[in-house]
Structure 1
Amino acid sequence: MLARFLALLASGEIGFLKRRVKTAVIGYGAAALAALAGAVFLVYAGFLVTAEQVGPTVAALYFGVGFVLLAIAIIIVFKIVAAMQRRAQRRRLAADRSAMAGASAMAMLPVLISRKGGMSVALVALAGLAGFAAYRAMQNPDDDHDD
């Protein structure tokens, strides 16, 4: 998408892109307002039907409690999703750190081997990395108690 934007910028068609974006924003904004108005009228119609059956005060209480419960449910869902995203990000960061450590160890391997007695140092380092990898593989990945 960035390449397309840069190509439009280079070819001088940025005015055309600006008009397209402006038209899209106006169209989608109008559609969103119409949808919001429709939703408001549907809720109001439901309120009127409920008010005819149980009275206006009780209907207002029902709708008020219903919207408060809906807000609480939305907040709970967002907190659950945020916690899941934090855990996934921690896992990605841990994987990135492991990959970076492995890459740096492999980059240092030729330097260690080129020195006198370096082969034994390199083998010890590789054995340590293999042991650490085995240790990480044996750990239960669901033990995230630092929430």
Structure 2
Amino acid sequence: MGMLASLVSGFASGETLAAVRRARTAAIVYALAALTALCGLGFLIGAAYIWTAGRYGSMSASLGFAAGFLVIAGLILLVYHLASGARERRRAKQRGADLKAIGITAALAVLPTLFRGKGGLGVILGPAAALAAYAIYRENSKAGRDDRDDGEAR
């Protein structure tokens, strides 16, 4: 309730509107600075081209700049492609953690209802016993397979 009162009082006092104006002004200033920096970078590239053209000729300078920019573009794409695999693994790991958290939360939310019902503990212990039996079966079947893999053909 205190958070809502703070938000309402912020709206009433105009503090929120002032913060939005400051953020908008900062965004405009940063956008203009970025645009100016890109123009400066363009003039630096133009100056480098003029110097290279004067030293090696305009055709050689054009081919050299074209090759340089194509190599840079290829490197950017290569780095992006290599990093995308790591990003996808990180997303998959996060999805798994999120699903596990949702499952645990759902189970904890249902537990009180299960304990109050007629079946109660049996509803929980039945599937738990089945999972334990399946885990024991898998463990024993792996051990049996390892013992038989001594080179004998069946």
Output the TM-score relative to the length of structure 1. 0.64
Identify unmatched segments of 5+ residues in structure 1: 136-147
How do 1:1-147 residues align onto structure 2 when only pairs under 5 Å count?
8-109=10-111, 111=114, 115=118, 119=121, 122-127=124-129, 128=131
Higher relative contact order (CA 8 A, sep 6+): 1
Identify unmatched segments of 5+ residues in structure 2: 139-154
Distance 1:18 1:99 in 2: 36
Q: Would you say how many aligned residue pairs link Structure 1 and Structure 2?
A: 130
Percent of aligned pairs sharing the same letter: 33
Contact 1:8/1:14 (<8 A) preserved: yes
Distance 1:86 1:125 in 2: 34
Once the two structures are superposed, residues 72-97 of structure 1 have per-residue CA deviations (whole angstroms, 9 ceiling, x without a partner) of 22223333334433322222112222
Amino acid at match of 1:12: G
Distance 2:17 2:124 in 1: 61
Compute the displacement of 1:103 (Å): 3.5
* Structural RMSD (CA): 3.5
Q: Which has the larger radius of gyration?
A: 2
